[in-house]
Amino acid sequence: MKPPLSLTLYRDSREHFVMPYNPVRLWYPGPAHTPLRFLIKAEKFAMTASSGYAGDYALKDFPLAGGLERKASIRELYNNLLGAMKERARFLRALDRFARLSHPYLWLDMDWTDMFAFEDLDPLRIHDLLLRVCQQRRIAIIGPTCAKTPKTRLKMGNFLVGLLISAAFGPSDVPETSPQKIFGNIGFSLDTGNVSRLDSQDEVAAVSNSN
């Protein structure tokens, strides 16, 4: 058996959650491929704007391929989207940087009960604003996940590590599923037309002031 390929999973130095995963992982790149074996080690890394990396988790040496941003509570989402102006502006700048990746994923690490456990205002206002800013930036949302036990947390971690590996090593002959390929013959367009981006402090303030 061939020795496994080595990978390093970066965890942002400001992210306290250590995502569990199996250090040796098989990855199946496509139906006609033999699975590859990866030996994955974890390392803390300051994923600042100057580092070239974005999000809370990413694979070393693949800064633009994919990233994972973790959100652990509805309160955190509220602070990011409707809290103090300085925090809102910081979060949107971080999302804009995150959106430059080929495969950015925002992970809602909570269950559906957590997603509605907010009494200060209707939690749907938070949900809808999150959906809007992510859709405008082509950021995929994963979750809310319901992985509470160590066993299910490990399974979730293995799945998320697989996402990052696929972003970095996806082969050219994996079936194409982009919207352009699916809808190209019927005039589908990714042009957002008159839909405006919610990326200025003034726009965010307007949403907040409407509460």
d(CA 81, CA 75): 10
Using alpha carbons, select from 146, 144, 164 the residue that is nearest to residue 21: 164
pLDDT score of 4 more than 80:
no
Question: Is the confidence at residue 42, as pLDDT, over 50?
Answer: yes
Question: 177 in a domain, yes or no?
Answer: no
| Residue 163 domain boundaries | 5-171+192-209
Say what the pTM is: 0.78
- Residue 179 falls within a domain, yes or no? no
Confidence band for 96, pLDDT divided at 50, 70 and 90 = very high
Scanning the structure block, which residue is given the tokens 């409707």?
82
CA distance 112 to 182: 31
Q: Domains in the chain: how many in total?
A: 1
Q: Tell whether 180 is covered by a domain.
A: no
Q: Does 142 reside within a domain?
A: yes
The verdict on residue 184 lying in a domain is: no
- Alpha-carbon Rg for the chain, nearest whole angstrom, is 19
CATH number, domain of 80, equals 3.40.50.10130
Please give the pLDDT value at position 129.
96
- Per-residue pLDDT, averaged over 125-152, amounts to 93
* CA 162 – CA 59 distance, rounded (Å): 11
